[in-house]
């Protein structure tokens, strides 16, 4: 009986800590057709968000980039999330950790957090790329960036928004 009484506080603490973490959010199954999703124009990167943190228990966010040749993202570092890039159509020149390569249809790149990376559509064909970030949260930054006025971006404002979400340009 003494052992049971001694263990009760630890059992109660374990049950409490398990019920208070972010992993208790139950995700529901979801099917998203190709033409479905929330479309954002993020400074020329036309993104169709398919899954966001609210859908996945804040584990991942996934979007489809539909991007014209010449459009890209300059070198930057994420401090919160890792990213996976999968090219579906076209060609993407990607730099991860100082190594640059051309991704073609079916190719994948992984950019861990805290590693500089960038990408740009090359060639003459509009590119389609599926990007996954984990954990989720970056979708809020994209929503803010999509609200900026049309035209050439104010890089100081873009940098400020990105910095507030743990991303800095290098």
What's the domain range around 52?
43-169
- The pLDDT of residue 151 is 85
- The pLDDT of residue 9 is 45
- The pLDDT of residue 26 is 76
- The pLDDT of residue 41 is 95
CATH number for the domain spanning 83: value is 2.60.120.10
Residue 65: inside a domain: yes
- The pLDDT of residue 94 is 98
- The pLDDT of residue 154 is 94
Q: Is-contact 69 126, C-beta < 8 A?
A: yes
- The pLDDT of residue 25 is 61
**How much is the pTM?**
0.83
- Average pLDDT across each block of 10 residues of the chain; the chain has 170 residues. List them in order: 46 41 68 96 95 96 97 97 98 98 98 98 96 98 95 94 98
Residue 13: inside a domain: no
Residue 86: inside a domain: yes
Residue 35: inside a domain: no
Domains in the chain, number = 1
Residue 12: inside a domain: no
**End-to-end C-alpha distance for the chain, whole angstroms:** 62
Q: How far apart are CA 8 and CA 77, in angstroms?
A: 45
């Amino acid at each position: 009986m003494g052992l049971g009484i001694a263990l009760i506080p630890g059992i109660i603490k374990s049950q409490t800590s398990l019920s208070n973490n972010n992993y208790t959010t139950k995700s529901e199954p979801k099917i998203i057709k190709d033409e479905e999703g929330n479309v954002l124009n993020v400074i020329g990167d036309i993104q169709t968000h398919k899954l966001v943190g609210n859908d996945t228990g804040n584990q991942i966010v996934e979007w489809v980039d539909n991007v014209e040749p010449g459009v890209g993202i300059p070198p930057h570092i994420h401090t919160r999330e890792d990213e996976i890039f999968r090219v579906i159509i076209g060609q993407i020149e990607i730099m991860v950790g100082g190594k640059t390569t051309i991704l073609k249809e079916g190719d994948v790149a992984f950019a861990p957090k805290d590693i500089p990376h960038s990408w740009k559509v090359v060639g003459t064909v509009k590119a389609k790329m599926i990007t996954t970030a984990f954990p989720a949260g970056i979708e809020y930054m994209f929503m803010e960036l999509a609200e900026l006025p049309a035209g050439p971006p104010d890089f100081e404002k873009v940098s400020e928004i990105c910095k507030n979400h743990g991303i800095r340009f290098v």
